Chains A and B, each alone.
Chain A
Amino acid sequence: MTSATALHGELHAGPKPPPHGWRRLLAPGWLRVPWVTALFFGIGLGITLLVRWAEGWHPIWDGQVITTVELTAAPLGFLVGIGGFDYWARYAIGSPTRPEDHSGHGAHSWRDYFRVNTDHKVIGIQYLVTTIFFFVAAGLTAMIMRAELARPGMQYVGNQVFNELFSVHAALMIFLFIIPAFAGLGNYVIPLMIGAPDMAFPRLNNISFWLLPASFALLLTSLLMPGAPGSNGIGTGWTLYAPLSTKGTPGPAMDFAILSLHLAGASSILGAINFITTIFNMRAPGMTLHKMPLFV
């Protein structure tokens, strides 16, 4: 081993052998997701209870407050568990960062599409496949509606369930299909079309993708939560007009739906920042704004 590689080794931890046994629980990925999500759930719960206890707010155990806090804490735990923040965490605590040159990019097996990845093509494919899955899910709710409407009168679902179906259908189609599908397409082709090696913020790109499954999970869970009196889910249409969405839907279903939209919104804002930065700063030499491909 020459001194140069030794020095290099001190600055960057080299590619480690895959962890074995219980250490696999510590590596970023789906094994780490359940316990880190649970941990963040516990932290959220603890902070809420502690603050309510310290401030003397009674009851200390308030389901509605806890739900709201957990709807932020648990998705964050999911992102941490899947490994979205690993690079920054290592950097922040001063441990050696992992090299992120392009040799470490890309997918080597189908499993890599279910892990964190910073390659714009992998993320583009993750985006597109996931949004097509959301599209099919939203399409199935539409199928139930058409089945119900095939004949006059009531067949399969009641009035309120029907309202919930088209609300979730619309929210899925707009916030989890149309918007992220374009982000996926852009992720795949824009760096290629403007001659950039990757997106400007690859790790941010990765996080904006992994926000989507969390958003989908919350929106689907909202269907099972109490919403309007005597029913589950949100029956307010995707526009969520108050006061039907406030006074008219006292249950936690609305909280789930709104936090779901927050996550989807955060995802598209982070994606947009990434695109703008990439397009403005990473074009090939000589490609002025007016010489860009029309698609970009």
Chain B
Amino acid sequence: MRRGVLARLVAVGLAAAAVTTAVALFVPWLPTPASKQADRIDFVFWFVTGISIAIFALVAAVILYSVVRFRARPDDDSDGAPIHGNTTLEIVWTAVPAVLVTAVAVVSAVALAQNGHVPKKHMRVNVLAQQFAWSFSYPKYQGLTVSQLRMPIGEAVQLKMHSKDVIHSFWVPEFGQKQDLVPGIETNVVITPKRLGTYPIVCTELCGEGHALMRSEAVVMKPAAFAAWVKEQETLAAKAAQGSAGGGPGLAAFNNNGCSACHTYKPAGSTGTTGPDLDNLPADARRAGKPLVAFVHESIVDPNAYIEKGYQPNIMPSTFKSLPKAQLDALVKFLTQGQK
């Protein structure tokens, strides 16, 4: 009799566990991890899921068995047995969850500590967020600043993150980590990419009107390809410095203020599509009915003065009017003289 009860309980429990395990395994809940840190987070996730499945199976087995075995028959008006208290059972059902919660806490703490560890050999990247753009600069390569995060595979990258205006949050689903960027303090994330590919960077803290458009890409490259890309960027900067666009301070202002995140502009090698293509500025100026230099200047300090067809007002921040005059002039020069 007792053995029969146990066998039925185990059978029901295994069935419940099988169903929940199938739900956990066959629904793609999380993206495929693309970094070592995401692997650790995945491990914690599966650790907790495993415990949850076991507890669910136990509870489901007891409930289903009791509902069937002890249900009131139509002619049964009697009271239930007056059962009160079972000290052993109470100690067990307090101790087991306590042990499990402690185990989850320890595993999470270890995973978080390992994820926060910065290996000795790492590359530093400064991240600057502002309404509504990301920019990434590489101190290792003379402050090369771009709007996409590019990383060589297998090398730890420490992101040192700052915000210029409001709270933003850096999130790449495939890297498994989120980190807020809070104005006035520096926050850190360590990423050790382990899978080649291009992943979305999403701002995941409501930061204003253009929040939904505040996106970029993280590109994980082979080391050789990464080195080639760095070289290409450096030549581009050098060429811009000598070329007709005036380069130098103008290009620096273009990249440092995040213009490249939203605008395509060939002399700067940028490919953003949130804002209008800056290679067409002369045509835009004609439509706005203004001379090119005045138009470019106005569009930087007062973006809403003229809105190109197909774009919306208030997406470009109006904070650029506070740029130092030298930077602003260099930027206008860079944008006007780079036109063909």
Query: Which residues of A are in contact with B by a Cβ distance under 8 Å?
Result: 154, 158-160, 163, 228-231, 235-237, 239, 241, 243-244, 247-248
Contacts and interface: CB of A to CB of B under 8 A. Distances in A.
B315 A159 contact: yes
Nearest to B318: A229
The 6 closest A-B pairs by CB, nearest first: A244-B166, A160-B209, A237-B206, A230-B314, A159-B209, A243-B166
Interface in B199-221: 205-213
B58 to A, nearest CB: 25
Contacts of B207: 244
18 contacts: A158-B312, A159-B210, A160-B209, A160-B314, A163-B208, A228-B208, A228-B209, A230-B313, A231-B314, A236-B206, A239-B206, A243-B183, A244-B166, A244-B167, A244-B207, A244-B208, A248-B166, A248-B208
Given A163-B211, A241-B166, A241-B205, 18 more contacts: A158-B312, A159-B210, A159-B314, A160-B314, A229-B314, A230-B313, A230-B314, A231-B314, A235-B209, A236-B206, A239-B206, A243-B165, A243-B166, A243-B167, A244-B166, A244-B206, A248-B166, A248-B208
Contacts, number: 48
Contacts of A247: 165-166
Report the interface size class on chain B.
10 to 19
Nearest to B166: A244
Contacts of A229: 314, 318
Nearest to A230: B314
Contacts of B211: 163
Interface in B56-89: none
A236 B304 CA distance: 21
Interface string B300-322: 00001000000011110010000
Contacts of A159: 209-210, 212-213, 312, 314-315
Interface string B307-339: 000001111001000000000000000000000
B206 A163 contact: yes
Given A159-B210, A235-B209, A241 B167 contact: yes
Nearest to B211: A163
Nearest to B180: A241
A231 B167 CA distance: 20
B17 to A, nearest CB: 32
B274 to A, nearest CB: 12
B87 to A, nearest CB: 20
Nearest to A239: B206
B229 to A, nearest CB: 32
Contacts of A158: 312
Contacts of A239: 206
B322 to A, nearest CB: 13
Contacts of B312: 154, 158-159
A163 B312 CA distance: 15
Nearest to B209: A160
A160 B209 CA distance: 5
Nearest to B212: A159
Contacts of A243: 165-167, 183
- Among B166, B211, B304, the most chain A Cβ lie within 10 Å of the Cβ of B166
Contacts of A241: 166-167, 205-206
Contacts of B318: 229
A264 to B, nearest CB: 21
Nearest to A246: B166
Nearest to B213: A159
A230 B304 contact: yes
A239 B205 CA distance: 11
B303 to A, nearest CB: 10
Interface string B36-51: 0000000000000000
